[in-house]
Amino acid sequence: MKNSRQSASTKQTMNPITRRHFIGSAAAACATTRLRAEEKAAVTSLDFPLVDFHVHLDNSTIDAVLPLSKERGVKFGIVEHAGTKENKYPVVLSNDDELRRHLAMLEGKPVFRGVQAEFTDWMGCFSPAALDQLDFVLSDAMTIRGPKGERIKLWEKGVEQRVDMSNKEAFMDRFVDWHVEIMAAEPLDILGNSTWLPAALMPDYDTLWTPARVQKVVDAAVKHGVALEISASYKLPRLPFLKQAKAAGVKFSFGSNGRYPKMGLLDYSIAMAKELGLKRADMFTPAPNGQKAVQRRKLG
Ligand SMILES: [Zn+2]
């Protein structure tokens, strides 16, 4: 009897528990879907939403990458290379029509719309009215001016023969001046891939980026209102640079330089932000109309 009552009692209580468990699981699944972005933000313990401002669509489409944005809880800033046709990339936007097609393709999508500007002559390709439509302009220092004024991509094979790097210190001084020059001469919102070095110099990164050189770059960034990207793919800049930049009042952005499906993977950027104690006020956000770099800086 005892056994049978126990058994009945177990039976009666099992079902509600099982059902509650089932309902609980279903509710949790819905909440996970609905609140994924918020949960992600909570997990990072940062007080600002995650944005990857350096996303390329090279081998993909906007509709293919949007689910990754949702899944990873990271908003994307989509960039396309922009400048003269002398710049060789799968796509290079070189005039207003091409830029407007890029903007129209992203119209109404939950992304920021940007370009990755190439070399120093990109501004002449576009009218101010077309550039005004962009949320941001990102560029980098990886294409340098050669001895005859030609553009040299520092990541290409054999670049050491085209750009004299035999004296690493002398090259670094020129490279730092190049960073300062492009920030002074171009209306940039973000300097991407910042502190990246050509392969021949990368092993000496820690000694070549002296505090004096870092200061020149961060002072230029502050002076011209250019945010410095914390690159998740290159894992750069390293912490000493970032600490000096933060002390100078630089703003930062996160970037993956990602092609499908690697966009929005920001582990290094998030880790550095936590280490530095970055807050919302330290982060780049696209300026309102009228205050974008292409609007507030009257250049070239
Ligand atoms: Zn890029």
For residue 17, how far is its CA from the centre of ligand 1 (angstroms)?
Answer: 53
284 HSE (CA, 13 A, CB side): 32
> Of 28-32, 43-47, 202-206, which one has max mean pLDDT?
202-206
For residue 255, the cross-strand partners are 231
For ligand 1, the distance from its centroid to the CA atom of residue 272, given in whole angstroms, is 20
Residue 107 has φ and ψ, to the nearest 5°, of: -55, 130
Q: How many angstroms does the Cα of residue 109 sit away from the middle of ligand 1?
A: 20
Q: How close is the Cα of 53 to the center of ligand 1, in Å? A: 10
- The two most distant CA atoms of the chain are separated, in Å, by 101
Least confident of 28-32, 228-232, 251-255, 280-284: 28-32
Percent of the chain with pLDDT strictly greater than 70: 85
**CA 145 from chain center: how many Å?**
24
36 pLDDT tier (thresholds 50, 70, 90): low
Output the CA 35–ligand 1 centroid distance in Å: 30
Q: How far does residue 120's CA lie from ligand 1's centre (Å)?
A: 16
Whole-number Å distance, alpha carbon 226 to ligand 1 midpoint, is 17
Calculate the alpha carbon distances from 134 to 93, 131, 139 in Å: 13, 6, 14
pLDDT value of residue 89? 85
Angle at CA of residue 60, ends 62 and 156, nearest 5°: 125
What is the Å distance from ligand 1's center to 275 Cα?
A: 25
Q: How far is the CA of 36 from the centre of ligand 1 (A)?
A: 27
Q: How far, in Å, from the CA of 295 to the mean position of ligand 1?
A: 23
Instruction: Report CA(199)–ligand 1 centroid distance (Å).
Output: 17
Give the separation between CA 293 and CA 180, rounded to whole angstroms.
16
Q: How far is the CA of 116 from the centre of ligand 1 (A)?
A: 6
Which residue do the tokens 């302009």 mark?
137
Q: Which pTM does this prediction carry? A: 0.86
Q: How many whole angstroms from 141 Cα to the centroid of ligand 1?
A: 11
Instruction: Compute, in angstroms, the gap from residue 136 CA to the centroid of ligand 1.
Output: 13
3-state secondary structure the chain: CHHHHHHHHHHHHHHHHHHHHHHHHHHHHHHHHHCHHHHHHHHHCCCCCCEEEEEECCCCCHHHHHHHHHHHCCEEEEEEEECCCCCCCCCCECCHHHHHHHHHHHCCCCEEEEEEECCCCCHHHCCHHHHCCCCEEEECCCEEECCCCCEEECCCCCHHHHCCCCCHHHHHHHHHHHHHHHHHHCCCCEECCCCCCCCCCHHHHHHHCCHHHHHHHHHHHHHHCCEEEEECCCCECCHHHHHHHHHHCCCEEEECCECCCCCCCCHHHHHHHHHHCCCHHHECCCCCCCCCHHHHCCCC
Query: For residue range 147-194, what is the model confidence (pLDDT) as tens digits?
Result: 899 999 999 999 988 899 999 999 999 999 999 999 999 999 999 999
Average per-residue pLDDT for the chain? 89
pLDDT at 37: 52
Question: What is the rounded CA–CA span in Å between residue 283 and residue 273?
Answer: 10
Q: How far is the CA of 88 from the centre of ligand 1 (A)?
A: 13
Q: How far is the CA of 23 from the centre of ligand 1 (A)?
A: 46
Q: What is the pLDDT of residue 77?
A: 98
Q: How far is the CA of 48 from the centre of ligand 1 (A)?
A: 23
CA of 296 to the centre of ligand 1 (A): 24
The whole-number average pLDDT for the span 64-80 is 97
> pLDDT class for 13, splitting at 50, 70, 90?
very low
Residues in Cβ contact with 18 at an 8 Å cutoff, skipping those fewer than 6 apart: none
Whether 209 has a pLDDT exceeding 50, the answer reads yes
Close Cβ partners of 132 (under 8 Å, ≥ 6 residues apart): 289, 292, 294, 295
Q: If you measure from the C-alpha of residue 142 to the centroid of ligand 1, how many angstroms do you get, rounded to a whole number?
A: 10
Angle at 159 between CA 183 and CA 203, to 5 degrees: 80
